[in-house]
Structures are given as structure tokens and as C-alpha cells.
Amino acid sequence: MQVLKTGAEWQKIWLQSLQSQKIIGFVPTMGALHEGHLDLIRNSKKSNDITVVSIFVNPIQFNNQEDFDNYPSLIKEDLALLEKENVDVVYLPDPQSMYPEKPVLSMHFGDLESVLEGAFRPGHFSGVGIIVSKLFNIIRPHQAFFGQKDLQQVAVIKRMVKDLSFQTEIITVPTRREEDGLALSSRNLRLSKEERDASLILIESLNLAKNELLAGKDWLAVRNQIQQKFEDEPLANLEYFELINPDNFQVIESIAQSKASSICVASYIGNIRLIDNLPIIP
């Protein structure tokens, strides 16, 4: 496994892979790796000759400085995991090499950034778009792998790839969960035992709402039921619980309104913000 700090180091390997007609898979991460990340890596290794994993905590996608400052950093442990998974290349740039100057560019994603994560985290998707664009320009992968847990982020990246004509196929990998259903997230490391127990309200609410909808219950009634459930949990502070069309991320009021539908949720558990989603009609 090669650990690279600069794009110039990767350029030499990329030229060799180009000459050898190697297919490159890419998994961008912010570190604090878990089994969900490893699922992405394993999917890449199945369909690509070379798998590259980046670790970079991107400062411009955080609109909360405290959240950025507290984001888990486990580089030594992450590298050991990647070595065990037989990753070919780890790209580990420092902030100065990625942002020698503060970016003046911003990205806008229309209606995609006006709801849910975009509404509650202004500027977040611009930061995501800029860093993913930079990484795609450096790595130039044939395929890139992202988790379904960040469903709106995947939609934004797919839009960016389409609009900017990146020659990269975006592969979405299903959410990996703990045995009790909690979606794996690097942020879970920051939960206390009490908060970890309380965090199950996300998946419990998603499952309950899905079952109620499929049984024919009205969405407004379902959402009111879920909001009361969150109000009854003292450690939870619900931001949104919405039924959406995953193709365009528009909020809908009935599963009959769209060929596909998913429920998305975001909530603080204590001081930790968690998100999750569940397809109703894939």
C-alpha cells in the first residue's frame, strides 16, 4: 500500500496505469473509518484494478466550526485498516496542498440544495462539490463509491458529474448498519452511552413510518406521530423528517406522488447531529 501526500506523486502512478489500461476505483473519505467505508472499498476492489482511498477532513463543507474541530481523527488506525483491506493507494493530502488559498469559487445546485441538508446546512453542498471536484481532477477515477446514508450528497455529486462532464461513474452502496439498526457513522464515536441508546430513535422512526405508509396511513398523520416520538425523547432534537422523491429530492406528501420515495431524517442526539434515510419504494 502506497501512502501519498501530493497529487504529483499520484500523477506518476496514474500515467503508468493509463499505459497499462488499468481501471481506477476511488473512495473519498474523511477518515475515522468503519465497516461502511470498508463496504465501499470492497465494492471498488471487485470492479477495479486499482483502488484509491483519500482521507481528508474538508473544512469548507462544515458550517459549524466546533463540529469541524471535534471531527474524529484516527489516521494511524485508519491506515492499519486500509492496509488490511489491501488498498493500493491512500491519498493523504494536507489542507495547505488542497487549499493554498481560500476558495472564491462556490457551487450552487438549484432545488437540490434548498431542502433538508441544504436548508439546515447553508454552503455545505458547495463545499462538498468543490472538494469532490478537486479530488476527481487529481485522481481521475473511472468509478467513485459513496454510501446511501448520505443520500442527498450522492444526488448532488451525480448532478455535478453530469453538469461538468466528469468521466466518472458514481456507484451508490447500501447503508451499513449496526445489529440494532443504527447507521454507521464516524460521528457515532462521539456519542455517550446514553446518547447511543437514544440514537436508535432515528431507525425506529424510519421503520415505523415506512410500515404505516405501506399500510395506507396518511403521511401528515405519520409525521405528526414521529414528531411526538422525538418530543418524548429528551436527548433528541429533530430537525427534519420528510418524505421525498430521491430523483430530485423534492418533498412529497404521498407515496403515490412519485415512482420512487424515501424518508429522510436529521436529528441532534445531545450535541451530535445524525442523519439517516430509508427507501419506501426503491
Residues 162 and 233 in one domain: no
What is this structure's pTM?
0.95
pLDDT the model gives residue 282? 61
Question: Bridge-partner residues for 173, per DSSP?
Answer: 147
Residues 54 and 102 in one domain: yes
pLDDT the model gives residue 257? 87
Compute the half-sphere exposure of residue 179: CA atoms within 13 Å on the CB side of its CA: 0
Binding site annotation covers 127? no
Q: Which is catalytic among the residues 37, 108, 124, 142?
A: 37
Residues 109 and 237 in one domain: no
Residues 73 and 141 in one domain: yes
pLDDT the model gives residue 256? 87
Boundary-marking domain end, from 152, 173, 194: 173
Question: Bridge-partner residues for 142, per DSSP?
Answer: none
Binding site annotation covers 247? no
Indicate which CATH number applies to the domain containing 243. Answer: 3.30.1300.10
d(CA 12, CA 131): 22
Residues 166 and 213 in one domain: no
Mean pLDDT of 17-22: 94
The per-residue pLDDT of the chain, averaged, comes to 95
CB 199 within 8 A of CB 177: no
CB 239 within 8 A of CB 268: yes
Q: For residue 180, is it within any domain?
A: no
Q: For residue 83, is it within any domain?
A: yes
Count Cβ neighbours within 10 Å for each residue of 16-51 and write b for 16 or more, e otherwise.
ebeeeeeebbbbbbbbbbbebbbbbbbbbbeebebb
Residues 11 and 45 in one domain: yes
Mean pLDDT of 124-144: 97
Binding site annotation covers 259? no
Residues 144 and 8 in one domain: yes
- Does 37 qualify as catalytic in the annotation? yes
Q: For residue 181, is it within any domain?
A: no
Residues 100 and 231 in one domain: no
Vertex 200 angle, CA 220 and 214, to 5°: 35
Q: What angle do the packed helices 7-19 and 124-139 form, to 10 degrees?
A: 50
φ and ψ of 259, to 5 deg: -65, -30
Residues 157 and 25 in one domain: yes
Binding site annotation covers 144? no
Q: For residue 191, is it within any domain?
A: yes
Binding site annotation covers 31? yes
Q: Which domain holds residue 276?
A: 186-281
Q: How many independent structural domains does the chain possess?
A: 2
Boundary-marking domain end, from 126, 145, 173: 173
Q: For residue 178, is it within any domain?
A: no
Binding site annotation covers 2? no
Indicate which CATH number applies to the domain containing 158. Answer: 3.40.50.620
Q: For residue 179, is it within any domain?
A: no
pLDDT the model gives residue 186? 93
Retrieve residue 226's grid coordinates.
414521529
Binding site annotation covers 148? yes
Q: Look at residue 281 and tell me whether its pLDDT is greater than 80.
A: no
Binding site annotation covers 176? no
Read off the pLDDT of residues 158-188 as tens digits, 9 standing for 90 and up.
Answer: 999 999 999 999 999 999 999 999 999 999 9
Binding site annotation covers 142? no
Residues 241 and 138 in one domain: no
Read off the pLDDT of residues 55-82 as tens digits, 9 standing for 90 and up.
Answer: 999 999 998 888 888 888 899 999 999 9
Residues 44 and 97 in one domain: yes
Boundary-marking domain end, from 173, 201, 229: 173
| Nearest to 274, CA basis, from 201, 213, 207, 166 | 201
Binding site annotation covers 65? no
| Nearest to 13, CA basis, from 140, 118, 166 | 140
